[in-house]
Amino acid sequence: MTRILSLLDTLRTSRWSPLLALLAGALCVLAFAPWNIWPLPLISLTLLLWLLDNQPWRKAAVTGFAFAFGLNMPGLWWIHYSMTVFGGIALPVAFLMVALLAAYLAIYPALACGLLARLFPTQNAIWRRVLLFPALWLLSDWAMGHLLTGFPWLWFGYSQIHSPLIGIAPLFGVQGITLALLLCAAAISLGLQQRKPLWLLLPVALFAAGALLKPIHWTTEGQPVKFALMQGNIPQAAKWDPKNIKPTLLRYLDLTRDNQDAEIVIWPESAVPAFENDMQEFLANLDSSMHYNKVGFITGIQYMDMAQRRFYNGLIGLGWQDKEGKAEYRFGESNRYYKRHLVPIGEFVPFGELLRPIAPFFNLPMSSFSRGEAIQTNMQARGYRFAPAICYEMAFSDELRQNVHADTDYLLTVSNDTWFGSSHGPWQHMEITRMRAIEFGKPLLRATNSGVTIAFDSKGNTVGQIPQFKEAVLRTSVAPASGVTPYTRLGSWPLIGWVVIMLAWGLARENRNKIK
C-alpha cells in the first residue's frame, strides 16, 4: 500500500496527472447502465481528490476537466448514432461533435476543481475534501443541469441504483446520493493519506443509513391495475413517411385489439405519426371503441395550434377517462399533456436560421416544437391520475416534481429511443427513469417504440419488461400509490441550503485565515 501511495504521489506531481484523471473518469462509465458496477465511482472520485491535493488552481482545473471529459466522451458516445444514421453526418465529424459536447460538459467540473484551489488555498485537507469539494461539485452539477437548457445526464447518483445508497433518494433525490458518494470518497482519501482507518466509519455509516432507509415505504399502494404497454418497433427511417401512417396505426390497433382485457392501454411517443388535427375522425372512433370496452387509453401524438402556428409534442387520453367513463374525446381540449423540456436540435434548433443550412442534421423531422406549460394537470385513465413526462424530460426531476402530488397515482413516460439503436444510451435513459420512481415513491410506466419498455413499482423494482427491437406488448399489473416522499415535498432545497452554508462558511474561514 505504501508503494502504491508513493507512486500516486509521484504521478500527481508529474505531467501525467491529467491522463490519470482522464482514465479515472472513463472508469466511471462502467458504473452506469447497462454495466452497473456501482463501486467504481468511489475509486475514481477518491483518485480525483488525491490528484487535486495541493495543486495550483490552473492545474486543478485541468485535472477536473480531464476527469469529466474521460467520463462524458465514452459515456455519451451513443449520441453519435442519431448523427451518423439519421443526420447524414460523417463519423469523424460526429466524433468531433460528441467530443465538443463532452468538452463543454467538462467545463463545469473543471470550474469546481479550479475554484476549490483558488478560493480555499489555506484550508486543511479535511475541510476541503469533506465539505467544500462536495459543495462545489454539486453546484457545478446544478449549473450543468440548468444552463443552456441543461443536460443533467451522467450525475453520479444514477450509478447507485443497485447500491445501498439508493435509500437516500426519497429524501434528497439523486443529488443526495451524489453528495453521499463525494463524502465517502473524501473519507476514503483522508483515511489513506493520513493512515487513519477511522475515516472509513463515514462511508460505512452512509451506506448503512441508505440500507436502513431503503425498505421504508414513503407512499401507500392500492389495488393493482392491469396495463398493456405497446411496443410497435416501427423503423425510425419509416416513421415519418406519410405512406407509412396507415400501416403504423394498423400495427398498433392489432396489438391493442388482442389486449383489450387490460384496464389501461398505453401507446408510446408519437405512436400516431401525424398531427392530431388530421386524425380527429380516427381518434373519435378509437375513443368510442375504448369506451365500449371500458378501457383507459393514452397515446403520444403531435398537436398544431392553428391560431398561433405552434407545434407541440404531446400525449392525449381517450376512452374510459374518469371513473364513471363519462368524459369523451374533444379535439384540442382536456386530458392531455404537452412536452415542456425539449431536446436541443432534436425538437428545437437554437439559432435555427443560422444552423439549419449547415447540415441535414439540423433538419431532423419534427424539430420545430414549442414548449408546454411548466405546470399541467395530471392526465386521467380509468379515474387514475398520471404525472407524465415525454422522453428526455425524465432527466429533470425538479421539473417533474411540480406535477407530482399526493393524489397522483402513477408516473408515466413515453419515449422513442430508436434514435440511438443498440447503444448504451437507452439503458442510461431507463435508469434515469427508474430513479424518478424511487425519488417520488410512485409506480412508473414507460412505453417506448423499440425499448426499453418497462414498468416499476413505487420502490423502483421492475414488475415487467419486454425485449428491445421486438414488436411486443408488456402486460403487467401495477399498484397505484398515494402520498408523497420528503423529496416530493421539499425538492432540492435542503441540498441547496447545505451548499450555500458550506461555501459561505468556507469563504468566511478563508478570510480569517488570510487576516491571521
Reduce the DSSP state of residue 463 to 3 states and report it.
Answer: strand
Dihedrals phi, psi of 115, to nearest 5 degrees: -65, -30
Contact 395, 152 (CB under 8 A): yes
Q: Are 321 and 327 in contact (CB under 8 A)?
A: yes
C-alpha distance from residue 337 to each of 50, 429, 456, 458 (Å) = 48, 21, 21, 22
Cis peptide before 467 (omega within 30 of 0): no
Q: Where are the alpha helices (DSSP H) in 195-244?
A: 201-213, 236-239
Closest CA to 162 of 405, 355, 434: 434
C-alpha cell at 386: 398520471
Q: Is 20 helix (H, G, I), strand (E, B) or coil?
A: helix
Whether residue 84 contacts residue 94, with contact meaning beta carbons closer than 8 Å, is answered with yes
* CA triple 398-439-463, angle to 5 deg: 130
Contact (Cβ atoms closer than 8 angstroms) between residue 163 and residue 209: no
Whole-angstrom distance, CA of residue 455 vs CA of residue 447: 9
Buried b (16+ CB within 10 A) or exposed e, 200-237: eebbeebbebbeebbeeebbebeeebbbbbbbbbbebe
- The answer to whether the Cα torsion of 348, 350, 356, 359 is positive or negative is negative
How far apart are the C-alpha atoms of 203 and 46, rounded to whole Å?
12
DSSP string, 26-45: HHHGGGSTTT--TTHHHHHH
Q: Which grid coordinates belong to 175?
A: 443529488
DSSP letter, residue 378: P
CB 476 within 8 Å of CB 488:
no
Strand 225-231 vs strand 310-319: parallel, antiparallel, or unpaired?
A: unpaired
Cell for 113? Answer: 476543481
At 407, is the secondary structure helix, strand, or coil? coil
Do residues 433 and 441 make contact, with C-beta atoms less than 8 angstroms apart? no
Q: Supply the residues annotated as catalytic.
A: 269, 339, 391
Pairing of strands 444-448, 410-415: parallel
Mark out the alpha helices in 76-132 (DSSP H runs).
80-81, 91-119, 125-127
User: Could you tell me the end-to-end alpha-carbon distance of the chain, in angstroms, rounded to an integer?
Assistant: 38
